[in-house]
Amino acid sequence: MKVVVILALFMLFSSMSGAFTFDNNVPDPIKTQMLADLDFMKTLQGQGASPLHQQIYGQIDGAAYGHFFDSRVTAVGMSSCGSPNAVACVIPMVSTSKMWLTQNFIKFSHPQVARMMVVYHEARHTERQNGFWSHATCPTPFLDPQGKEIKSIWTKAALAGEPACDVTPLGSYGSSTIMLKNISRLCKNCTDKVKEDAGIYADDQFKRVIDPKAKQAMLNDIFRPSFTRGL
């Protein structure tokens, strides 16, 4: 009887805490790394979050980031995601609360905050009520203001013509950009390296927001001159 009660309490606690499971095909080092990365996110603290950040996540607060992920993702597995250039994905027709990582997530080395950019990007894709935030097709050609071809910062694959852009600041690319830029400028307990990495990857992901009105909304929110550390 005691064993049954303890097991029931454990299952209840796990459900309440938003615990998720890993498929057996996820390598142990990746499991350990991802759990450590998520624990890191739950330590972050800051003040003065931008309006769009407050709309999506709340304040720059570890508990808020933890709730965002835990309330959306119930499982993590491995998949090709249907593309040799994919890093991770959500497949709504299979599961609306599971994300899959690809070998590209494993074989390319990126900073911790960049790995969380991918994870939180995919968590956004689990939102059934928002149509899973489908991506837009990137323009062809897809060039930066200097006329240089825009490529994935993760895999270096060309993005022109790929379903790898957004037309809203609230989509997966927009929301991860907003999160990273807020961390870069307003996190109070982050190292300079974490803030620098967050800024680099935020600036890169911003390129994938291709609608002029969406870009302007983000410029007004997280790229305005007054949006600096401590303000």
- pLDDT tens, residue by residue, 36-58: 999 999 999 999 999 999 999 99
**At 21, which helix (H) or strand (E)?**
strand 21-22
Does 228 fall in a domain? no
Mean pLDDT (10-residue bins), the chain, 231 residues: 37 49 98 98 96 97 98 98 97 97 98 98 98 98 96 98 98 98 97 98 97 97 71 39
Does 11 fall in a domain? no
Does 37 fall in a domain? yes
Does 230 fall in a domain? no
* pLDDT confidence of residue 224: 80
The edge-to-edge listing of strands for the beta sheet with 75-78 is 21-22, 75-78, 98-101, 88-90
8 A C-beta contact, residue 162 and residue 85 = yes
Does 128 fall in a domain? yes
Q: Beta strand 98-101 with 88-90: parallel, antiparallel or unpaired?
A: antiparallel
Does 143 fall in a domain? yes
* pLDDT confidence of residue 8: 37
Residue 155: C-alpha distances to residues 21, 63, 88, 172, 231 (Å) = 27, 31, 12, 18, 35
Does 112 fall in a domain? yes
Q: At 15, phi and psi to the nearest 5?
A: -65, -40
* pLDDT confidence of residue 193: 98
Instruction: Give the number of domains in the chain.
Output: 1
Per-residue exposure over 103-112, b if at least 16 CB sit within 10 Å of its own CB, e if not: ebbeeeeeeb
* pLDDT confidence of residue 225: 74
Residues 6+ apart with CB under 8 A from 200: none
8 A C-beta contact, residue 9 and residue 153 = no
Q: Which domain holds residue 54?
A: 19-222
Residue 124: C-alpha distances to residues 35, 90, 117, 136, 143 (Å) = 18, 9, 11, 15, 26
* pLDDT confidence of residue 10: 34
Strands (E), 37-195: 75-78, 88-90, 98-101
* pLDDT confidence of residue 18: 52
Dist. CA 55–CA 32, nearest whole Å? 31
Dist. CA 128–CA 125, nearest whole Å? 8
Q: Which of 223, 231, 176 is nearest to 41 (CA)?
A: 176
Does 189 fall in a domain? yes
Q: Is 165 left (phi over 0), alpha (psi -120 to 50) or beta?
A: beta
Summarised one tens digit per residue, pLDDT across range 149-186 is 999 999 999 999 999 999 999 999 999 999 999 999 99
Q: How many CB atoms lie within 10 A of CB 77?
A: 17
pTM (predicted TM-score): 0.89
* pLDDT confidence of residue 201: 98
